[in-house]
Amino acid sequence: MLKALRWYQPEEADAWWEQCSQRLHSDHLTRLYRALHTISRGKLREGFRLREAMMATMSRNRRTTMEPPRDIPEWTRQPLKEKSIAIWSEFGLGDEIFFMRFARIFREESGAARVVLVCHAPLVELYEASGEADQVVDSANAANFSGVDYWVFPHAIPAHLPLDLESLPSTVPYLRTAEHVPSKLPIVEKN
């Protein structure tokens, strides 16, 4: 498989991942790596759908530190026009930062009236300063969360939106820091 990738034979690698997935259909890592390989080939929607199908068989605590609200439906491509949605905390800080960009897509392309970001505590100030969400909620304070029509895990978003690399928001940077955060770090000279 590595040889096919090294020699840039991605179709051959696709076939190998397909065969591995069929033979080891219950193996988590095989299914995950197939999804990641598909995503790396630029087939975002297909890759994230494979990933979501894999995650559907796992318990929520493998995905998040804070259980999503049981009384609010999970978003699976329902129309968002004049609705509100919460992008729920999932995995680590890097993933949360990457997927924060979907707040803008929900508002501008899907017509969501309100977008809430539920995130880990270290990201709250950064998210608030970015201005991408209408509300930012620390996941530690999300136990009694309410007031939205839907919630969604960040990695599920590309499985449900018609998305390709060209349609990602081109606004760079999409993160901004608070005014009181220095724009440059001090230079430390070595002796």
Binned at pLDDT 50, 70 and 90, residue 25 comes out as confident
Q: Are 133 and 106 in contact (CB under 8 A)?
A: no
Structure confidence by residue, pLDDT tens digits, 31-50? 888 888 888 888 888 998 89
Q: In the numeric block, which tokens belong to residue 142?
A: 């999300």
Binned at pLDDT 50, 70 and 90, residue 182 comes out as very low
Structure confidence by residue, pLDDT tens digits, 66-114? 888 889 999 998 999 999 999 998 877 888 888 888 888 898 888 999 9
Binned at pLDDT 50, 70 and 90, residue 184 comes out as very low
> What's the one-letter identity of residue 54?
M
> Where in the chain are the domains?
2-58, 61-167
The rounded distance, in Å, linking the Cα atoms of 175 and 93 is 14
Output the CATH code of domain 61-167. 3.40.50
Structure confidence by residue, pLDDT tens digits, 144-159? 778 899 999 988 888 8
In this prediction, residue 185 carries a pLDDT of 41
What is the number of alpha carbons within 13 Å of residue 145 lying toward its C-beta? 29
